[in-house]
Amino acid sequence: MSVIQSMANQYRSGQRRVSDTIQSRLATITQQDPTIRAFLSVHTDQALAQAATLDQWFKEGRELPLLAGIPLAIKDNIHVKNTPTTCASKLLQHFIAPYHATVTERLLNQHAIIMGKVNMDEFAMGSSTENSAFQITRNPVDPSRVPGGSSGGSAAAVAANMVVGSLGSDTGGSIRQPASFCGIVGFKPTYGRVSRYGLVAFASSLDQIGPLTRTVEDSAIMLDAICGHDPLDSTSSPRPTPSFFTQLNPDVSGLKVGVPRELISEHVMPEVRESVMAALDRLITQGVSWEFFSMPSLKAAVSTYYIIAPAEASSNLARFDGVRYGHRADGCATVKEMMQATRGDGFGDEVKRRIMIGTYCLSSGYYDAYYNKAQAVRRVIQQEFNTAFAQYDVIITPTSPTTAFSIGQHHHDPLSMYIADIATIPVNMAGLPALSIPCQPSDPLPVGLQLIAPAFEEQRLLNLGLAYQQVAGWATLLEVHNA
């Protein structure tokens, strides 16, 4: 059952007021967030005012969208007008967004209620939400562990029942990996399916906005709201968007699944592998067949990504120089000194690391040796996916090779942190849609199952995800009716 649909039905029948829902979620934030630390800002007055208006509209019997009155959270690299967009960085600590991101505007047009902005790894660079300049977010399943990243605040807010859904951004797994660690659903749409206008860019050819929710149905509802062409984003696809929610169909019999050997190898924790294999066995009961196959280029995906993404980040983050907006260092004699001091003081260690890697790869004498070769490998990865999809309807992998690790465990070992995205990075490199669903919410820690489909086949992923959700029964364990 969809949490959103259940809540919407209660609003329409008069069983529940929007104001009661919002006050309850604000109370949960007050109770839970001092420990979890998912929120960077909470929009209490705006949320309560919007709720009061919606209560009146429901009382009048107005026909409103499913998302009307649904409490949501927004990752703090997505603009919400007249509120801070910090990207969890000192450099943007006092920056106020002058306009709505397209996805924000579309949610507000559906009368969804934005409860606040949530924490992330600084400028979306990280896999643990430990790189935030302001606070470390904790995993609601086990607060001694990370929630994943970079959309860790988005995942934690949903998993802790502070909100019903949230938006994150995904450049190399930043929606799917936190969803996996927190035992919820995370969807990375096809590149171009969702507008990036109003998203602070990390790596423009890889970034994509998507939802984090408790059920597959809720993911479909949020996708219906945010997908579609946007003339303000030159990379936005003009392809028509179907109604994902109304076309949900858990009958997936006859679907053929491929499992890449390279992504269920010795790098994967035994308990993760066991959970994924058990999930595949459950899918067989739904008429799905599967087999192992090989994608040799996947072994090079992480190395390729950590040339292309930092190169694009080096270019995108050059705008943060203290001249136009954000933090500016004081007491500098020249503009050059001011820029150096601003960036040196404003950026955290991981952001500086990636800027330096990217600048080096783009520098004279190294552009061909690194960046051009990485782009060639990227094309090979894309071609191998195309070959695989000529044979399989869906590719399945673990979302992450591990369960949520302890806070501080990998913080000073960036290479081990980078390897954690081995299964998610190839999807961004190829611009494909992917869905992470729980193999089980927590036993004792959540394990995510990643479903990958050809470009613009989001519906296929949602249908298969729904079929697995029903046979596995984890939606019932999440107590969605009481969420």
By annotation, the residues acting in catalysis are 75, 150, 174
Nearest CA among 114, 97, 1, 94 for reference residue 49: 114
Distances (CA, A) of 172 to 124, 208, 358: 10, 9, 16
CA 474 to chain centre: 20
Amino acid at 263: L
The answer to whether 456 touches 190, Cβ cutoff 8 Å, is: yes
Give the integer Cα–Cα distance in Å for 349 and 339.
17
Which residues, other chains included, contact 479 with Cβ-Cβ below 8 Å and sequence gap of 6+?
none
Determine phi and psi for 71, rounding to 5 degrees: -75, 125
Helix, strand, coil % over all residues of the chain, rounded to 5: 45, 15, 40
CA 63 to chain centre: 31
DSSP state of 318: G
User: Using H for helix, E for strand and C for coil, what is the string for 219-260?
Assistant: HHHHHHHHECCCCCCCCCCCCCCCCCCCCCCCCCCCCEEEEE
Amino acid at 150: S
Determine phi and psi for 407, rounding to 5 degrees: -60, 130
The answer to whether 126 touches 137, Cβ cutoff 8 Å, is: no
User: For residue 399, with 0-12 CB atoms within 10 Å meaning exposed, 13-18 middle and 19 or more buried, which class applies?
Assistant: buried
Q: Which tokens go with 323? A: 């001249």
Using left for φ > 0, alpha for ψ between -120 and 50, and beta otherwise, residue 347 falls in: beta
Alpha carbon dihedral 276, 277, 282, 286, in 10-degree steps, equals 100
Nearest CA among 443, 413, 203 for reference residue 312: 203
